[in-house]
Homo-oligomer: A and B are copies of this chain.
């Protein structure tokens, strides 16, 4: 494995050995390490000193179920701090087959224009891509596949990235060549645009799977993991209902974001639920599929394909809970067909449905749309595509929309929109939103499945801490959040055995926690140097003041206790 360092100014590639302090890191942890080592924390995120990083996780490369994720990172234009956003699809695997431990994209282009960065066993090449300017990700991906072949992996941006919007992500192809796996959060698509890149194409022809030092031990650990994963009830829940299973759970807890986070229950939750989604998909048949793997080899297959009523046309793939929560109930919309259309439109722009959904909720509060008006929501998304002033307000995400439109009630932390778990009703997740170095992000440490009184402020910091450490560990491994169910249920030390067998290391059984803690410390340090203080580890004031029905809870976890979260 090597470091692939690409300079977009000189359009050159340097292959470098892996520094020893980077060797035992991957994914999210490696991104934090590289940012600390190489990127001035005060730099302008869209300037020449920021870097765009692609780091496959430590377990990536062998199609271990749900463990081939790619972490993409840089200094975030949205939060101003450390940013790692990860995705499934094929990018992580293909990069690893080429022997890429980390792809570091640096500097500014020497002249305007769009490029495709093509990576293969022959090295790096810049192909002019001005013909792709302004194209949505679906059309762009199709053209790139036509040009570069069926087997390539692609990471690409849409028009939202090209417009340097702070809610722009980076999409990746799923195993069926659809650019549906988005490293969505924190505006990394804008960073990619600042480097002049429309896409990174990875052609792994001639590459190979990374070596395994002790194949027998690896297979044994893999078997234990697979069994634990397949036996886990959540695996089946997610295969049947996808992440949309959370709709009913959140509705029960009063934590389903509704009409701009003004309530935690939505009267049309049933028609947004995972059960309803599955039923609809099965009824429609044709192109629709209730379960679908985003990465080759995934045993969970929580993804789905949502087709039109006649079964002929894909409306969007997949519909995820976060999108349902933010672009459905949060906008007062109870119709999955409408959510699917909004989802597709935002995907095609290459934007984060969470931050855009939250921004539309802000627009509704500002009187720019009525709750439940899907047509108006689509028209607002079209404003983004047309790069109008209103479009730019919304396309830069909820925090900026709130500031510009003069709306205080914005659900953000560190300027990043919260996911679809109302933090006043699920307070541990509120602690995660507040304190995570990543900003409002459910994947940084979701607490809703734990047996705890979610309304009681007591114990939430400790719970969030445990979850944040584990998630930072999984993100460093390249493991999906749901792979975690398998690892947690597998015999102790399964992760260490996998890593030791593959790399010939001698890691302790608690390596997940070791990696998670190291990653969080690195991220906190980057943010500290970028000027973050305790004030950035807070939820918005209005959430501490305004009760959310039906629980009528406010967010009341003591700030002083939150300030102890990283004391480990």
Interface centre among A166, A405, A532, A536 (most CB of B within 10 A): A405
Q: Which bracket fits the contact residues of A?
A: 35 or more
A42 at interface (Cβ–Cβ under 8 A)?
A: yes
Taken together as a complex, chains A and B put the C-alpha atoms of A475 and B532 apart, in Å, by: 31
Q: Are B389 and A541 in contact, with the CB atoms below 8 A? A: no
B163 touches A541 (CB 8 A): no
A534 within 8 A of B: yes
A531 touches B533 (CB 8 A): yes
A388 to B389, CA, bound (A): 9
B531 close to A536 (CB less than 8 A): yes
> Do the beta carbons of A42 and B535 come within 8 Å of each other?
yes
A 373-388 contacts with B by CB, 8 A: 388
Instruction: Provide the residues of chain B in CB contact with A388, threshold 8 Å.
Output: 389
Residue A121 interfacial (CB < 8 Å):
no
Q: Please, which residues of chain B bring their CB within 8 A of the CB of A542?
A: 44, 47
B47–A541 CB distance below 8 A: yes
Q: Are B400 and A163 in contact (CB under 8 A)?
A: no
Instruction: State the CA gap A540–B44 with chains docked (Å).
Output: 8
A461 near B: Cβ within 8 Å? Answer: no
Chain B min CB distance to A409 (Å) = 10
Write the nearest CB–CB distance from A540 to chain B, whole angstroms: 7
Contact indicator per residue, chain A 138-173, by CB within 8 Å of chain B (1) or not (0): 000000000000000000000000011110000000
* Residue of A163, A164, A393, A406 with most partner-chain B CB within 10 A: A406
* Cβ-defined contact, B540 with A535, below 8 A: no
Which residue on B lies nearest to A401, using beta carbons? B404
A25-53 with Cβ < 8 A to chain B = 41-44, 46-49
Chain B CB count within 10 A is highest, among A44, A165, A530, A541, for: A541
The reply to whether the CB of A403 lies closer than 8 angstroms to some CB of chain B is yes
A408 in contact with B534 given A390-B389, A393-B389, A403-B396 (CB within 8 Å)? no
| Cβ of A392 under 8 Å from chain B | yes
Q: Does A538 contact B (CB under 8 A)?
A: yes
Q: Write out the residue numbers on chain B whose beta carbons fall within 8 Å of the beta carbon of A406.
A: 163-165, 392
Q: How far is the CA of A196 from the CA of B166 in the complex (A)?
A: 33
Chain A 182-195 near chain B by CB (<8 Å), digits 1 or 0: 00000000000000
CA distance A545 to B42 in the complex (A): 14
Do residues B534 and A531 form an inter-chain contact, with CB atoms below 8 A?
yes
Per-residue interface assignment for chain A, residues 245 to 258, with 1 indicating a CB less than 8 Å from any chain B CB and 0 otherwise: 00000000000000
Say whether A541 contacts B396, CB under 8 Å. no
User: Which of B49, B164, B393, B403 contacts A541 (CB under 8 A)?
Assistant: B49
The answer to whether A43 touches B541 (Cβ under 8 A) is yes
A/B interface sample: 22 pairs, CB < 8 A: A41-B535, A43-B541, A44-B540, A44-B541, A44-B542, A47-B542, A47-B545, A49-B541, A164-B406, A165-B406, A388-B389, A389-B390, A389-B393, A389-B404, A389-B405, A390-B390, A392-B393, A392-B404, A392-B406, A396-B404, A400-B404, A530-B535
